[in-house]
Structure 1
Amino acid sequence: MRQELMSLPKTLAEDVARNLVMVARLLDDDPEAAYGYSRVALRLASRVAAVREAAGFASYGVAKYAEALAEFRAARRMTGSPHLWPVMADCERGLGRPERALAMAGEPEVAKLDKAGQVEMRLVAAGARRDMGQNEAAVVTLQSPELASRTVQPWAARLRYAYADALLAVGREEEAREWFAKAVEADQSGATDASDRLAELDGVEFTDALDPEAEETDLADAPDEEAGMGTPDAEEGEGDAAVRPGSEERGSGTRTEQERPVPEPSDELDDLTDEPDYREIGRQ
């Protein structure tokens, strides 16, 4: 990417590079912001293949599949590389054309992909089968020698996860559990939620101990004597308003919902609504 940007004037190259860095930083956590930065880079240097590819992934991240496909095609024309072929096929799925994605899975470009790319193409093809209601065919599509590989590459975890999910879709729960477990073994970076799916199949439920809403729900479901929520008889003449269920005191010093102070509005919230200047932030 740096080499491609060297074809631009230095100041322009620096502006484009800063926006591309922001795309990469925000793509997973804030795809809308990443998309904004990508549009700035695209306006500045639309003839650079790396910019078109970054714009494609940013559009893909916000489900603008037609834009993404156009950018990926442009990048591919510029470089001649087939590495974008699987994500281009997935854009076809996003546009409601799974049959085109399946057709792309049989094209000669697939043989030019590396191992990760070929696995990705297999995942897209299986997804297209499921889009078409062919769940059994999706299971068969994912059956490959790579499933038995002992590698811990990210594609191995994703392939095993997809296979487990496909098995679950056709009612083969025991086999699905086995492959979710194998996906957990390969997923060292936590790229999938295989551990959560496995726990779900085992009937294990997790509760966030720091979640106050979960605590209130547990107390509301528990018997009064267990939750410590017994309501004393009100003395005659005390209080004009009836106490709502669930608003009684829970232990010494705990305020009821009616007594909790309401925070004053902060001027800082107004600042958060301002539209960010993507180019200016990139320069900083």
Structure 2
Amino acid sequence: MQSLPKTLAEDVARNLVMVARLIDEDPEAAYGYSKVALRLASRVAAVREAAGFAAYANQKYSEALAEFRAARRMTGSVELWPVMADCERGLGRPEKALDMAGAPEVHKLDKAGQVEMRLVAAGARRDMGQLDAAIVTLQSPELASNAVHPWTARLRYAYADALLAAGREREARDWFAKAVEADRDGSTDASDRLAELDGVEFVDALDEDAAQSDAGKDEDDRQD
């Protein structure tokens, strides 16, 4: 944003900060801020990228894809390739996502990007009803590694979920457990899925309190 006048750059930056802050907890609000930034500085790659992620978070896949393509044209980077492919999935075009997974751009991605691309490709296989192919797609040195990286939990989770969908419950349970071990920031619900497979039932504390209160009222009524 160095090409923008100082005051305009500050306005754009404030909106981008709000996009980043709200995109997980309130994606609709984040989308609103992204549109403001877009009106102010549509020729800035960071703005187009933020607008793309805000649209993506709101399942506006066609709009997201257009913004990601614009950002990529401006920067020449392949970093957005996996999320662009996932937009194709969102638009009901898993075959296109698979084509992108086999494109030369994938070889230019860093390790995190390649893992993300593998996740998207596996998702596309599942979209097409190809569960076994999805499982094979996820099998990789990154999956087998004991090292924990930012993407490890999601990769293990996707593998466990695919195994479970294929009826391989025992293996799925093992991989959900491995996902829990790697999920240090709670980015997945692997612990809940594992508990479900183990037959653990959770009771909402508020519901339990309400039930006890109702039981107490019933007892009082009987005494009256």
Q: TM-score range by the shorter chain?
A: over 0.9
Choose which of 47, 63, 68 in structure 2 pairs with 1:67: 63
Q: Which residue of 1 aligns with 2:4?
A: 8
- Where 1:28 maps in the other structure, the secondary structure is coil
Q: Which residue of 2 aligns with 1:46?
A: 42
In structure 2, relative to structure 1, the CA distance for the partners of 1:160 and 1:218 (3 Å cut) is: farther
Identity %: 80
Report the count of equivalent residues. Answer: 221
4+ residue runs over 3 A deviation: 213-220, 250-253
Separation in 2, partners of 1:168, 1:219: 39
Amino acid at match of 1:174: R
Amino acid at match of 1:22: M
Cα deviation, residue 135, structure 1: 0.8
RMSD: 1.7
Verify the 8 A CA contact 1:152 1:188 in the aligned structure 2: no
Amino acid at match of 1:59: A
Separation in 1, partners of 2:47, 2:220: 61
Separation in 1, partners of 2:3, 2:219: 69
Cα deviation, residue 148, structure 1: 1.6
Q: Which residue of 1 aligns with 2:180?
A: 184
Amino acid at match of 1:71: E
Choose which of 184, 189, 192 in structure 2 pairs with 1:193: 189
Larger radius of gyration: 1
Instruction: String of CA shifts for 1:128-160, please: whole Å, max 9, x gaps.
Output: 000011111111111111112222222111000
Q: Which residue of 1 aligns with 2:20?
A: 24
Separation in 1, partners of 2:183, 2:19: 25
Separation in 2, partners of 1:24, 1:117: 20
Q: Which residue of 1 aligns with 2:76?
A: 80
In structure 2, relative to structure 1, the CA distance for the partners of 1:218 and 1:205 (3 Å cut) is: farther
- Where 2:151 maps in the other structure, the secondary structure is helix
Instruction: String of CA shifts for 1:233-252, please: whole Å, max 9, x gaps.
Output: xxxxxxxxxxxxxxxx2456
- Where 1:11 maps in the other structure, the secondary structure is helix
Separation in 1, partners of 2:212, 2:173: 29
Q: Which residue of 1 aligns with 2:114?
A: 118
Gap regions ≥5 residues in structure 1: 221-226, 229-248, 254-284
Choose which of 134, 137, 147 in structure 2 pairs with 1:138: 134
Q: Which residue of 2 aligns with 1:223?
A: none
Separation in 1, partners of 2:210, 2:80: 49
Verify the 8 A CA contact 1:39 1:55 in the aligned structure 2: yes
Separation in 2, partners of 1:154, 1:184: 13
- Where 1:154 maps in the other structure, the secondary structure is coil
Amino acid at match of 1:34: A
Separation in 2, partners of 1:59, 1:214: 39
- Where 1:196 maps in the other structure, the secondary structure is helix
Separation in 2, partners of 1:54, 1:165: 30
Cα deviation, residue 214, structure 1: 4.3
Separation in 1, partners of 2:168, 2:176: 12
Separation in 2, partners of 1:61, 1:26: 11
- Where 2:92 maps in the other structure, the secondary structure is coil
Is 1:95 matched up with 2:91?
yes
TM-score, normalised with respect to structure 2:
0.94
Higher relative contact order (CA 8 A, sep 6+): 1
Cα deviation, residue 25, structure 1: 0.5
Verify the 8 A CA contact 1:154 1:191 in the aligned structure 2: no
Instruction: String of CA shifts for 1:33-62, please: whole Å, max 9, x gaps.
Output: 000000000000000000000000000010
Amino acid at match of 2:155: L
Cα deviation, residue 217, structure 1: 5.3
- Is the helix fraction higher in 1 or 2? 2
